[in-house]
């Protein structure tokens, strides 16, 4: 019998994925300074696009003042469409669907990457990290302009030939900043109550869907982080109310962003329930939920899917093992790598800037100092 993750999956819009394993969106720092995709980045995606059913790219900034990382893919200008098209084709030519993740960094953007070196957010509240800049509060007309920019980014993704976009509403970036009572202290239509804190992300969703309706087969997903550490911060109750509201939109999937699929609450150590499973239990019958987080072996993935989760994205694991799906499908699960050595970069086709981040960030990846010797 075929493993559940190797079975095809069909969205309600009729698009079928060849299997249920996705490459999770992972920043790779490898685009050119002007936002064009580099050869190194194309090679990285090609290496990981043959087995998986879907590739969700690293985030692409929708405005110049929303750039969150050095070497980030740009989707903020029409002149980048040709470059984006090479990325979509590189993924699709290997047999996977190509989804472009679109985003705005808000107060988390490095000031030196921004045109005026000034971060922006829902309110002038700095993130809780040492030396962080206090962002400038966005004016209502700027908020409207960013909403439109998400629509324009979607149009460019469609013109470039992508199969879909994922709206990045997670990981403390701008959409989450509007939803969070920590970063959003506004008292206008864009903040105050829980309902008003949802207004900006929902307006972005509406704008993206309005653009995407030109092609009924174009996939639109939304990525969400269930909770925040900050006080006040996003609680699981807030998120369950928000996902109830997101389900009313015509989205194709909801992608939950957590470090560990099985982990409980980051706010309440007593609460051990998987955040992903809680969202699946709440809305999984109405919208496909993508699970993610520290899943390495086929056994891990099957366990995660046992609670009804239909789709799984692998991030760090597909960096360590680009051929994960092929090995799992060919009874070679024992050959799947779950760590890497400092010498593996070329074999794994990982761009140099990402590789430096991997080996110089303790605890992010299981890194060995030496290659494995043959037994």
Structure tokens at 55: 């590739």
Nearest to 71 by CA among 355, 335, 354: 354
Half-sphere exposure of 13 (CA within 13 A, CB side): 20
CB within 8 A of 304, min separation 6: which ones?
261, 262, 276, 291, 295, 312
Q: Is the dihedral of CA 95, 97, 98, 101 positive or negative?
A: negative
**Secondary structure percentages of the chain, helix, strand, coil, to 5:** 35, 15, 50
312 φ, ψ (degrees, to nearest 5): -130, 135
Question: Using the 8-state DSSP alphabet, how is residue 134 labeled?
Answer: P
Quickly count: other Cβ atoms within 10 Å of residue 268's Cβ: 11
Catalytic residue among 5, 9, 173, 222: 173
CB within 8 A of 191, min separation 6: which ones?
122, 123, 178, 184, 185, 197, 199
Q: What span, in angstroms and rounded, lies between the C-alpha atoms of 253 and 221?
A: 5
How close are the terminal C-alpha atoms of the chain, in Å? 32
Q: What span, in angstroms and rounded, lies between the C-alpha atoms of 234 and 238?
A: 6
Is 173 labeled as catalytic in the residue annotation? yes
Which residues form the catalytic set? 173
């Amino acid at each position: 019998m075929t493993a559940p993750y190797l079975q095809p999956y069909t969205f309600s819009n009729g698009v079928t994925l060849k299997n249920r394993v996705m490459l999770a969106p992972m920043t790779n720092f490898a685009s050119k300074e002007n936002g064009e995709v580099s050869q190194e980045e194309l090679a990285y995606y090609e290496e990981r696009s043959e087995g998986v059913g879907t590739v969700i790219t690293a985030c692409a900034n929708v405005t110049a003042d929303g750039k969150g990382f050095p070497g980030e893919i740009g989707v903020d200008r029409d002149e980048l469409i040709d470059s984006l098209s090479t990325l979509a084709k590189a993924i699709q030519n290997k047999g996977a669907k190509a989804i472009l993740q679109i985003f705005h960094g808000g107060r988390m953007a490095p000031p030196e990457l921004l045109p005026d070196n000034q971060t922006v957010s829902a309110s002038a509240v700095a993130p809780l990290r040492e030396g962080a800049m206090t962002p400038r509060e966005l004016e209502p007309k700027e908020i409207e302009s960013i909403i439109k920019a998400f629509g324009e980014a979607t149009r460019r993704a469609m013109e470039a030939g992508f199969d879909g976009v994922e709206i990045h509403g997670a990981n403390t970036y701008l959409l989450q900043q509007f939803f969070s009572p920590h970063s959003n202290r506004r008292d206008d239509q864009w903040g105050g109550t829980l309902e008003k804190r949802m207004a900006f992300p929902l307006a972005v969703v509406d704008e993206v869907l309005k653009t995407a309706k030109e092609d009924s087969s174009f996939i639109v997903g939304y990525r969400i982080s269930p909770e925040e550490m900050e006080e006040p911060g996003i609680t699981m109750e807030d998120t369950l109310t928000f996902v109830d509201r997101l389900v009313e939109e015509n989205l194709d999937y909801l992608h939950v962003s957590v470090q560990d699929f099985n982990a409980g609450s980051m706010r309440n150590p007593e609460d051990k329930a998987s955040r992903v499973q809680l969202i699946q239990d709440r809305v999984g019958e109405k919208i496909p939920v993508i699970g993610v987080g520290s899943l390495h072996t086929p056994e891990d993935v099957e366990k995660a899917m046992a609670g009804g989760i239909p789709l799984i994205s692998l991030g760090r694991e597909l960096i360590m093992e680009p051929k994960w799906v092929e090995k799992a499908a060919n009874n070679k699960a024992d050959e799947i790598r779950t760590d890497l050595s400092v010498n593996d970069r070329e074999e794994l086709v990982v761009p140099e800037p990402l590789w430096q981040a991997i080996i110089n960030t303790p605890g992010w990846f299981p890194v060995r100092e030496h290659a494995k010797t043959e037994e």
